[in-house]
Amino acid sequence: MDQGFRITDVHIHVQPWREAKPLVVEAMRRGKESEWDLLSQITDDPRALLDIMDRAGVWRAGLVHYPDPDVMGFSAASGTFAARYAQMNPERLLPYGGVHPRITRDPAGDVDRLMDLGIRALKIHPPHQMFPANAYTAGLDALGAIYRRCEKRGLPVMVHTGTSIFPGARSKYGNPMELDDVAIDFPDLTILLAHGGRPLYMEEAFFVLRRHKNMWLDVSGIPPGRLLHYFPRLTEVADRVLWGTDWPGPGVRDMKQNIDQFLTLPLSDVDRKAILETNALVVFPAR
């Protein structure tokens, strides 16, 4: 890898865009019209993605996908999409999947089935799936069952925090403080806090991150050049920060550009290596 690191980008999106709602596709295409054919091709062909990763100097990528019928248009049945996709190269492609707690009839069994397919993390998206991340404390029992199963089986859970700009998203559910409950009630659960509460809830994100040692910060979606502005004390938690970009989400042009911007930050080589390379190997051991 030309940056000298074996980089894992824990947060990119490979999703069945043809299932997405027209307004979502419009939001995704904006600014990427010229690349849209390629992005569509990637949906069908993991080799196209691996080529892009090679060019960007990215060794492994976490493929975010989860059922999202209300906002994005991804059906509950599509929860296994990333798992099947990643079977082409399980060393470099880390698939995430989801179980929708408002739809599932067998939360623990659905988690098990995803794991049988090779899933490396479970994704929960409160602003899109329409519940707070601690909704099991107020009656959404399936959500508690999902966390419990993931805790028992050692499957990390990635939770979206912060706002979402997609039509219909309810950003009030993006507050990371709700994960305080989850970390207390499921003390052995590995929680990946996606986007660090960007841009409204970053103090809350830093608080829960420091308070709970099983919580990791996924910096995707935060402009890398602004990372230390948003998290001035980032180095205090550098051993639990995971590199991620949210590519090809709105505003993220390419994986390499984000890496280059990150490398201009005044961080030590030790912290850079932890964030780009070694922390991710703790959460997602090499296979």
Q: Looking at beta carbons only, is 180 or 246 nearer to Zn ion?
A: 246
Q: Looking at beta carbons only, is 76 or 250 nearer to Zn ion?
A: 250
Nearest approach, Cβ of 221 to Zn ion (angstroms)? 6
Q: Looking at beta carbons only, is 178 or 246 nearer to Zn ion?
A: 246
Q: Looking at beta carbons only, is 120 or 144 nearer to Zn ion?
A: 120
Largest distance between two CA atoms of the chain:
50
Q: Looking at beta carbons only, is 170 or 273 nearer to Zn ion?
A: 170
The residue sitting closest to Zn ion, measured at its beta carbon, is: 246
**Which secondary structure element, helix H or strand E, spans residue 217, and what is its range?**
strand 215-218
Binding mask 190-229 for Zn ion (x = CB under 5 A): ----------------------------------------
Nearest approach, Cβ of 90 to Zn ion (angstroms)? 21
Nearest approach, Cβ of 156 to Zn ion (angstroms)? 15
**Could you tell me how far CA 276 lies from the centroid of its own chain?**
15
Nearest approach, Cβ of 42 to Zn ion (angstroms)? 15
* CB half-sphere exposure, 111, CA atoms < 13 A: 23
Q: Looking at beta carbons only, is 134 or 245 nearer to Zn ion?
A: 245
In the chain, % helix, strand, coil (3-state, to 5) comes to 50, 15, 40
Q: Looking at beta carbons only, is 133 or 267 nearer to Zn ion?
A: 133
CB 184 within 8 A of CB 89: no
DSSP 21-84: -HHHHHHHHTT-GGGHHHHHHHHH-HHHHHHHHHHHTEEEEEEE---BTTTT-B-GGGGGHHHH
Q: Looking at beta carbons only, is 9 or 246 nearer to Zn ion?
A: 246
Nearest approach, Cβ of 176 to Zn ion (angstroms)? 15
Q: What's the rounded Cα separation, in Å, for the pair 282 and 27? A: 34
CB 143 within 8 A of CB 179: no
By CB under 5 A, how many residues form the interface with Zn ion? 1
**How is residue 154 annotated by DSSP?**
T
Nearest approach, Cβ of 13 to Zn ion (angstroms)? 6
Binding mask 228-267 for Zn ion (x = CB under 5 A): ------------------x---------------------
Q: How many CB atoms lie within 10 A of CB 112?
A: 14
Which sign does the torsion angle of CA 161, 76, 165, 127 carry? negative
Nearest approach, Cβ of 147 to Zn ion (angstroms)? 20
Contacts with 39 (C-beta within 8 Å, 6 or more apart), sequence order: 17, 28, 32, 248
Nearest approach, Cβ of 187 to Zn ion (angstroms)? 26
Q: By the criterion CB under 5 A, which residues form the site for Zn ion? A: 246
